[in-house]
Structure 1
């Protein structure tokens, strides 16, 4: 099965498609750094760096599966106040319609935040896909249910050239705790009681120790997991585009490393990312978890 990857980013969809036995023949993104990373990891695919709303779809190779992760910031509850900018980001979803109209692949798979389904134009977007012959099956999946050491709820919309939406059946996978992604011998540690440490951080550490003992993870920036963090036997909370999760070990703590965040997303350790942690985390936080993509594609193929 041949696949293409729109808004490919770090390549989570492409990696998951390869896990499912697909041949990714083309990938595109507007950010050159992301295209470069995708090329390093998927050298067999043709690549384009461009605004996909301006793409000439006749130049894209024939394919059976169209995968796309349109910009999610315009839909996410974490979006900023720049409405015009986010309106432009929301419109990227229409590139999927244009690509599907040109090639009419047998299957289309879209990933976004759950709020995508509350977009004012979502019914119109669905109607456009229906007019092209696609029966749509939206579903919200948590990466933790697919063996990823992270709770990450995302909307997947499956489009097939069938009379009715297909019902997908997924394998039952146990949740994996964040302990599986952590290397306690790595990273840059600092003392919890160092001068300048905020009172809020100290309080959260103290509560975490009572709830979980000497080792646990907690949000260092932002909210989530209450005031106590979470034990290492649970999946991590959602990996975002900026540093968020801190690891506490006795009287020391540090932020999760690039390697640990890559594992929390379900990418293999050998997957190449930018050397700068900030750039790597930005790509990972926007990515699709490969094991989830693998399971969805395998489920689609089993019903085809």
Structure 2
């Protein structure tokens, strides 16, 4: 299946390039982006700004003739995840719902059908290169954990593994599936991802054994934690943070559960920007907060202002905070207040996180508390973007949208560096 030589440039292609989070991590790992494609004009503008050396096209992937695109050693991509997850606001009752109307590739909604068909577009690109006898050496794809529950998942995986430039087709790729969370890669955001890595059969296997550092209170020492699944027969899913996931991290010595070190929300918060006191919102021509939001703030006052807590030992690089620390709330149907010593929730394409600061006069009057949503710098930093990365946008809503679609670069860099080291 093609020959690969050390004198070949370490070039890469990014399909579903978005605003470039996956590509950013890939280049920081040592590769050079040569070709990228995405259908969204605003995201492509950001991509071109940060990767001026790449051939970037704004088009739907189904219109691309992959046999005519640049041949590269690495292929990456983040197929659209919206209709594999709950991001549309459609509540999933259980995993079987992915096989029912509204959760299959036969979805009656055209945008949902195109979204899930996007997984087949990465196969089509890889197949075209194999047919041309210029197959990709390694491929990295990311998505939400629920993609593994998609009814077409096993069929897609089988097609990816049997890509060949020979007849009859043989199993020419090997693979490994990772379930990881961005909070364990230095990103102050709890963001679960499914990662699939493919490499040629017989080639050196990438070392994708992720062992995050943690402190074991039983062994009284730092350890390299081991991923442990609640159901050993189902090794895909979400991290059991706040007791609602499929896997944990445990000590390899005593098997006790541990919490890997993480960066918290406090690290990226601009404490000089306190927002507007809640009682002055009307005078400032801002809408009054809804009752549900006020209730979350009241709950946060009782939880974090009346009984201030210290940062947990797992939180790293926590800034010094004078006085009572603020807290943050979420704008979901099950939204609640959270400590700034935790990572933010998963950033979506809409604003979901608000900050609440204590009153300047030392009281706990809710109307004297200041409130604001995250600012653009916090959204970018909370997404793991380097400071010099530019988001081309004319509004904060657009910055939020692009970052909400983005793969956190530190996570992408870790995976890509392991893949490149094995090539």
What SS does the aligned partner of 1:170 have? coil
Could you say which structure has the higher helix fraction?
A: 1
Q: Quick check: 236-245 or 78-87, which moved more?
A: 78-87
Matched residues in 2 for 1:33 and 1:198: separation?
Answer: 32
Selected match of 2:399 from 280, 284, 287: 280
Output aligned runs, 1:172-251, within 5 Å.
172=212, 174-186=261-273, 189-193=275-279, 194=281, 196-213=288-305, 214=324, 215-219=326-330, 221-224=331-334, 227=336, 229-250=337-358, 251=369
* Match 1:83 to one of 91, 94, 109: 109
More divergent stretch after superposition (16-25 vs 203-212)? 203-212
1:150 aligns with 2:189: yes
Give the secondary-structure state (helix, strand or coil) at the position aligned to 1:230. strand
Q: 1:29 aligns with which of 38, 43, 54?
A: 38
TM-score, normalised to structure 1, is 0.93
Q: Residue 80 of structure 1: CA displacement? A: 5.1
Q: How many residues align?
A: 300
- Which segment drifts farther, 284-293 or 79-88? 79-88
Specify the alignment match of 1:68 in structure 2: 77
State how far apart, in whole Å, the 1-side matches of 2:50 and 2:410 are: 16
Counterpart of 1:264? 382
For 1:122 and 1:136, locate their aligned partners in 2 and report how far apart those are by CA, in whole Å.
14
Paired position in structure 2 for 1:101: 127
In the other structure, the counterpart of 2:147 is 116
TM-score, normalised with respect to structure 2: 0.68
Alpha-carbon distance in 2 for matches of 1:131, 1:279 = 40
- For the residues of structure 2 that align with 1:43 and 1:178, how far apart are their CA atoms? 32
Q: Which runs of 5+ in 2 are unaligned?
A: 1-9, 91-107, 130-134, 164-171, 214-260, 283-287, 306-323, 359-368
Larger Rg: 2
